């Protein structure tokens, strides 16, 4: 066993043991603990858990690679602007009001605000979005195990499934939350240590964000030398239309992701929900402000080491990643050396998978084996933290919003927990299959999930809070239209499926914003011609938006409001008599 493999194993065993212990110590016996951790998580801890839930394998493993290789630097800013900008929308427009409404899940809010039909569509949307998203996480787990522990991807995914099952099924949201606080600590340390070391080694400056600025001129010169577009050049990889649409898709998708929104139900109060978003932005920024630097450092090192090297004389790190199929070399001109003139990627002599840039960065920079092992453990922490949150969304949608709300409203707490755990176990099996057979590289799969989230949930949640006359049929029609049209467009344009150029060249990962506009339009139009919500529901929606806790909001949060008062057919007769 090599030094890197040994250190990786040490860090993996230590961190996995810690996750399982935390879950065991946090095991829950009621649905409030299982779904929302009893609503008692302090804002700083909730912010760290949100950050870990948010910073998935895409953020940790893929984002720097997209910035460095797929997006040529400039276009990669769509991920930084979109993913962080979405938290501003979430904190200002959704989180505090959803927390005040007081429900376990996004489908539960949709069902209480609109109708059971809308709830079922929301359940389907949550499951589709979560499964697409979790596929990227399990693929990331398999990638780390394959490269650093010498097991094949399938076995790596199976090991990841077992660990998630151990701490998510038994601990529920409470166990997941405290596990994610630990996972955030692991992943951010694993991300920052090599970034600082590489920055010091390349530039003599231990602050990556400053070293990044210093090396830009040299990187642009290298790119020009090899016939590549300038690293900081605008619109060289993505046109302006797709830049705008993808940024918007990622922003509104972030604000509409059910596994992120449910985190705000775990806060102690509405005020704590707002501060949780603030803490989350701080914790996320530590990684997001470092990712462009790692991407630039890695590309600089690659361009200094690889072009002109003999096909059989490559560095050890290059050979290791080539052996697992994540670097490909095709000597097109037959001269026995690797040339990058004209470009990198499929169709050129050198193609580097986006998913290896962060994981390989310490090796490329010749850092010690313990640092390489720590980065591998950080990648696993990022993937598993997000996977557990997504799996809880799937579990709660099936057990709470379908079984308890629709099939067996008389179910005991113990029965609900049992169904929730079985649902999560089944979801883990499906997630494992998707991780073994992902429809693209990690961040690409995740970007598709954001498009589906933007097209399905954001308009429904936004209008449900800020437009009291938004109707149940309008919300149901809008969600269905946004989800189906966006999903169909993605299937039509993803290369491994249809491969069409799409409408006006809009990429699959950019279409979510268009789907969102379709959702808004359909919801608004249908709401004009369908039965309006009851007067009590309209007053509840208004009071949710104002500070303080009215009697009506308090009664709804505790379940004291009669169902007919909220959704009854005779809402236009003496509405004042219906107040609790």
DSSP 96-113: HHHHHHT-SSHHHHHHHH
Lowest mean pLDDT among 109-118, 236-245, 501-510, 568-577: 568-577
Q: Count Cβ neighbours within 10 Å for each residue of 412-446 and write b for 16 or more, e otherwise.
A: eeeebbebbbebbeebbebbbebbbebbbbbbbbb
Q: What is the mean pLDDT of the chain?
A: 80
Least confident segment among 140-154, 237-251, 316-330, 452-466: 140-154
More confident residue, 24 or 522: 522
Neighbours of 92 (CB within 10 A): 12
Q: What pLDDT score does 459 carry?
A: 94
Mean pLDDT over 8-27 rounds to: 82
- Say which residue, 207 or 566, is predicted with more confidence: 207
Contact 394, 423 (CB under 8 A): yes
| Percent of the chain surpassing pLDDT 70 | 86
- Quick: pLDDT tens for 243-271: 889 899 989 988 887 777 777 777 777 77
- Burial degree of 407 (CB within 10 A; 0-12, 13-18, 19+): exposed
Q: Residue 47: CB partners within 8 Å, gap ≥ 6?
A: 275, 276, 277, 278, 279, 280, 282, 283
Extract the tokens encoding 207: 């602050």
Q: Is the pLDDT of residue 33 over 60?
A: no
Q: What is the pLDDT of residue 18?
A: 85
Tell me the three-class secondary structure of 296-335, residue by residue. Answer: HHHHHHHHHHCCCCECCCCCHHHHHHHHCCCEEECCCCCC
Answer yes or no: are the C-beta atoms of 39 and 267 closer than 8 Å.
yes
What is d(CA 224, CA 234) in angstroms, rounded to the nearest whole number? 15
Domains of the chain: residue spans and CATH = 3-299+367-451 (1.20.1730.10)
Average pLDDT over residues 27-55: 70
Better pLDDT: 556 or 489 = 489
Compute the average pLDDT of residues 31-43: 62
Residue 337 three-state SS:
strand
In sequence order, what are the residues at sequence separation of 6 or more whose Cβ sits closer than 8 angstroms to the Cβ of residue 4?
148, 363, 369, 372, 373
Lowest pLDDT segment from 100-109, 110-119, 460-469, 555-564:
555-564
Instruction: Report pLDDT digits (tens) over 113-159.
Output: 888 888 888 888 888 777 777 777 777 788 788 778 778 878 888 88
Whether pLDDT at 519 is above 90: yes
> Which of these, 475, 450, 453, lies nearest to 541 by C-alpha position?
475
In the chain, % of residues over pLDDT 90: 11
Residue found under tokens 């936004």: 462
Say if CB 329 and CB 349 are below 8 A apart. Answer: yes
Give 324's pLDDT tier (boundaries 50, 70, 90): confident
């Amino acid at each position: 066993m090599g030094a890197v493999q040994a250190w990786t194993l040490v860090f993996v065993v230590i961190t996995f043991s810690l996750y399982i212990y935390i879950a065991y110590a946090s095991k829950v016996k009621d649905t409030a603990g299982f779904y929302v951790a009893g609503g008692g998580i302090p804002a700083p801890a909730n912010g760290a858990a949100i950050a870990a839930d948010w910073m998935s394998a895409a953020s940790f493993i893929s984002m720097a690679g997209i910035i460095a290789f797929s997006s040529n630097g400039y276009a990669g800013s769509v991920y930084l602007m979109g993913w962080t900008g979405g938290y501003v929308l979430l904190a200002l427009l959704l989180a505090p009001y959803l927390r005040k409404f007081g429900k376990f899940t996004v489908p539960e809010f949709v069902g209480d605000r609109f109708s059971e039909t809308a709830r079922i569509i929301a359940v389907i949307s949550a499951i589709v979005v979560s499964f697409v998203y979790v596929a990227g996480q399990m693929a990331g787990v398999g990638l780390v195990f394959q490269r650093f522990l010498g097991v094949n991807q399938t076995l790596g995914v199976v090991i990841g499934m077992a660990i998630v099952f151990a701490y998510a099924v038994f601990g529920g949201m409470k166990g997941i939350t405290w596990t994610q606080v630990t996972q955030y600590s692991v992943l951010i340390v694993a991300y920052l240590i090599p970034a600082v070391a590489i920055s010091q080694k390349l530039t003599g400056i231990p602050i990556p964000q400053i070293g990044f600025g210093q090396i830009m001129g040299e990187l642009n010169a290298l790119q020009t030398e090899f016939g590549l577009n300038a690293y900081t050049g605008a619109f060289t990889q993505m046109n302006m239309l797709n830049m705008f649409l993808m940024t918007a898709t990622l922003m509104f998708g972030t604000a509409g992701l059910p596994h992120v929104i449910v985190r705000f139900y775990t806060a102690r109060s509405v005020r704590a929900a707002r501060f949780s978003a603030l803490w989350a932005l701080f914790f996320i920024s530590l990684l997001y402000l470092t990712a462009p630097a790692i991407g630039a450092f890695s590309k600089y090192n690659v361009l200094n080491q690889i072009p002109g090297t003999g096909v059989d004389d490559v560095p050890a790190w290059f050979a290791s990643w080539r052996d697992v199929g994540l670097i490909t070399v095709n000597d097109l001109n037959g001269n026995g050396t690797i040339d990058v003139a004209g470009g990198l990627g499929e169709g050129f002599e050198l193609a580097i998978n986006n998913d290896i840039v962060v994981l390989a960065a310490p090796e490329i920079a010749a850092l010690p084996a313990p640092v390489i092992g720590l980065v591998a453990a950080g990648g696993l922490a990022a993937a598993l933290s997000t996977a557990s949150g997504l799996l809880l969304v799937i579990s709660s949608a099936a057990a709470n919003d379908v079984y308890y709300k629709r099939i067996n409203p008389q179910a005991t707490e113990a029965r609900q927990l049992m169904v929730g755990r079985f649902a999560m176990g089944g979801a883990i099996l499906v997630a494992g299959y998707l991780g073994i057979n992902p429809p693209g590289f990690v961040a690409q799969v995740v970007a598709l999930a954001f498009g589906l989230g933007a097209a399905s949930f954001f308009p429904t949640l936004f209008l449900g809070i800020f437009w009291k006359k938004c109707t149940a049929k309008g919300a149901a029609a809008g969600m269905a239209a946004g989800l189906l049209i966006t999903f169909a467009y993605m299937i039509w344009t993803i290369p491994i499926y249809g491969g069409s150029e799409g409408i006006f060249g809009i990429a699959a990962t950019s279409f979510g914003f268009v789907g969102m506009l379709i959702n808004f339009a359909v919801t608004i139009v249908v709401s004009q011609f369908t039965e309006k919500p009851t007067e009590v529901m309209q007053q509840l929606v208004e009071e949710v938006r104002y500070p303080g806790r009215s009697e009506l909001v308090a009664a709804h949060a505790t379940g004291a409001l009669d169902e007919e008062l909220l959704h009854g057919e005779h809402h236009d007769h003496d509405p004042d008599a219906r107040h609790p």
